Structure 1
Amino acid sequence: MSETNLDAADAAAPTSIDALLESDVDGLLDAPQKPTKVTAADRLERAFLEVVEFRRTHGRVPDSTTREIAERKLGARLDGILANEEKIAALKPLDEFGLLETPEAPASIDDLLGDDELDLLDDESGLLDVSDLPVRKAPEEADSVAKRKKCLDFDRFEHLFKTKHAELADGTAQIAQFKGLRTVTEGRFFVLNGVMLFVAEVGETREMIVGGKPEQKQRLRVIFENGTESSMYRQSLSIRLFEQDGQSVVQTGLSDAEEILEGDTASGNIYVLRSLSDDPQIAQIDNLHKIGFTRGTVEARIKNAETSPTYLMAPVEVVASYRTYNMRASALENLLHRVFADVRLDLTQADRKGRRYDPTEWYVVPLDVINQAIHLIISGDIVNFEYDRSAQRLVAR
């Protein structure tokens, strides 16, 4: 009986390897599959899909500045992708929420502030309201608008501009709103379209007939810091300063009526600080500055800086200070923060109690560029510029 069964089994057994594999309906003899190699493209897609999933779940993009570590990591990942055109092109098919779309540059100051959903930059003082300013006129061809020419003795004046810039940097001088024709006097400095100028001479008064009426005019010798000069009329310079949002350069704290007029209201102080920290991770950073605003004095604001995380738990040095009048200085401060957002200090520290914190309002940017940005914001021209972190300067968009 047993022999008969064995013969039957032998008869049913496969006669070749191929037949054996074909009879393996349960796949017991299948060779294990080798794992597929994960490529860099696969890792990039998986990383981006985590960002997409965050957007789907929370209805917003992850914030790279939040204290929530997981979200901050995703936000930083998205920032890195947006900085690389090749990654953007590779991930476009997976971008169901338009996370990789590049916003158009704002065409005006209104567009720049248009996304201020929390109304943080509400212009209560009318700093940015130009509706009441006179309409800019086309330049006149007559002598009322003199042509600029090269200043052949500019070496006589160059040191004056360097001194004035140094005063602006150390806070002994400041930029103020232009106060009108009566302030256009010999020896005064002004800023026109971001260029500083010096009134070197005021000529004799001449009576001229303008529009059928007699009018007294004085020729000026105006020296510009770019090495040119002009002999425009005193009234013409005043008109240009008004129409093109020019500013005066005045001594800080001076109460003379020619500098700060009666009825002007001080609105606060914009200040720029340098850290005196001996912490190696702070001390080794060149051009690290804090841009802040206070309604009181800067000295009171930075008192006991070494005990405050806001000031990196170390003493600070004031390298520039601007007293602002008849304007909302906090709006100016916020605009500066926007201009330099790409170079904000990314650092986590611990205070004396061991609590972790991320300092804000600290930026890695040269002081002269901060000063230039302030002038451009006041003039409204900042919408035409952006900060180039590699070149460390403001460049045209």
Structure 2
Amino acid sequence: MAREFTQEDDELLSELGVEVEMNTAARRTPRDERIIAGFEDIQRFVEEHGRTPQHGEDRDIFERLYAVRLDRLREQEDCRQLLEPLDLQGILGGQAITTTPLTDAMDDDALLAELGVEAEMAPITELRHVRSNAEKQAADDIANRERCEDFPIFKPLFEQVQKDLDMGVRTTRRFVKDAGFLKAEITAGQFFILGGQTAYVADVGESFKAPNGETDARLRVIYSNATESNLLLRSLQRALYKDEAGRRITDPVAGPLFAGETTEGDNASGTIYVLRSKSDHPLVAENRDVLHKIGVTGGSVERRIANAKLDATFLLADVEIVATYELYNINRTRLENLLHRVFGPARLDIEIKDRFGNPVIPREWFLVPLFVIDEVVEKIKDGTIAGYVYDPKTAGLKQAG
């Protein structure tokens, strides 16, 4: 086992004409290490941009931070002495030297404060404000997009996803670290929202072990603006998590939309209800078996219809509940709009007077048989409702247009 040289060892070696090179790194204090780490960030910036970091509100926040840090390092004589042996680029030259000591208080929080930036950041010992090489590579991967030459193949997919979102067949979910999605595997065929663009994972390459031990893979990601990127799976995950507007777009069949039972993780959204009127209005009485009110509520259906006979939207008459469908993980308003679009051609054309004698045209009553309503709900569940509309002539669904 090697031992450290003592003063006597040094004297003996000196007599033998041997110069001892001391391990100065071992003598560095934690404060020295922090100073050197901060200077190395500046060196990387100079190497990348070919110039020293500059001040100015139009500059990147990291460049501004490095510029303030460099000013401070240049001003401190003890810092210059520590860093000059490492300053192969001549970064420290050209500034006056002062003898003001560099205290631990001069961390990046203080530097950011001088820039007028308020941020809850970790102490400089943790260097959380400094992007790691992996983070920088991830940012480069996301930004490094090129034109997608075969975009016409993917364009219909983006159009369909947008239709699904508009109709409520799909929804978006925020990335929440506690939910574990940051570590969830990304698979081919999934859609995301990143940087304001819809992103489609067209291909996932063979998995491999990254230096940190995690499993990773190379992806081909197509974006809705006709560009693409070839980035790592973990890079995409980190980018999505950090993007405040980043979202995952759910699959049309991701979890039960309508079911009698919920599973863990399902978020209840409400109930689709189908009602039949007990009104004695001639038009209603003539079509009672096929005339249905179709709506969506976030509360109890029973409470919703409690005062039906006083509400013109219920034709000022009591109603009976014909069918209900529990609703999970879907936007109620969009779903109701979808239902009304599909059944629009069969909307009841009727005008009645409310309790105050004002004319009212109810909009949620449709001349459609119950079995067709069931069929529409099933198509919403399996994601195939897009493009369908009810045809009153055949009393069935048909492709719109």
TM-score (normalizing by structure 1): 0.39
TM-score (normalizing by structure 2): 0.38
Query: Which structure would you say has the larger RCO, counting Cα contacts within 8 Å and 6 or more residues apart?
Result: 1
